[in-house]
Amino acid sequence: MTLVVRTNRELFSGRLELDTGKELQEVRGEVLADDARAFRVKFTMEKSGQFRLHFTTKTGDENSDKSAYDLIVIPDMAPSVELTKPDRDVELPANGTLELEGYAKDDYGIKRLTLRLEIARGPKSVVLKEKEYRPDKDFKFADGSYPDRVHYKDFLPWTSS
């Protein structure tokens, strides 16, 4: 995360104090070259907690308001995929077609979807060539985000090997 803090006085330095309950981290800020009344702090948000801002002006004064601000981190959940068709193990003739349906979900959005299959043959398995779902389609919305759920419907021509 990049946080830019603006003040009403020219700055000598700035920093952020990040408290996640188990650890207190201090992150040094960088006074902006094009605006001496602002500083930038860059840090990675991994856990929820609170932060406080501290800065010193060029005349040596420190900020008096050191209030704590809540920082809430929403965790990135693992993507999930569910195949709904076929809904059981299937056997196909040598020239059959495997029909597939299902969906993929991800809380931050789905950029692309690739089918990966393997055939179980006794104690060994054979990994098939992966197949990208709709490779010519860009899932991106006009606002730059991606869908959090993609319905999947495809087929796989079968040739025995």
**Per-domain boundaries in the chain:** 2-71, 80-157
111: CB partners within 8 A, 6+ apart:
139, 140, 146
Q: 54 with 61: CB under 8 angstroms? A: no
Q: What tens digit of pLDDT does each residue of 18-52 get?
A: 999 888 999 999 999 999 999 999 998 888 999 99
Is the confidence at residue 157, as pLDDT, over 90? no
Q: Residue 31 belongs to what H/E stretch?
A: strand 30-32
Task: Tell me what pLDDT residue 101 has.
Answer: 94
| Pairing of the two strands 49-57 and 69-71 | antiparallel
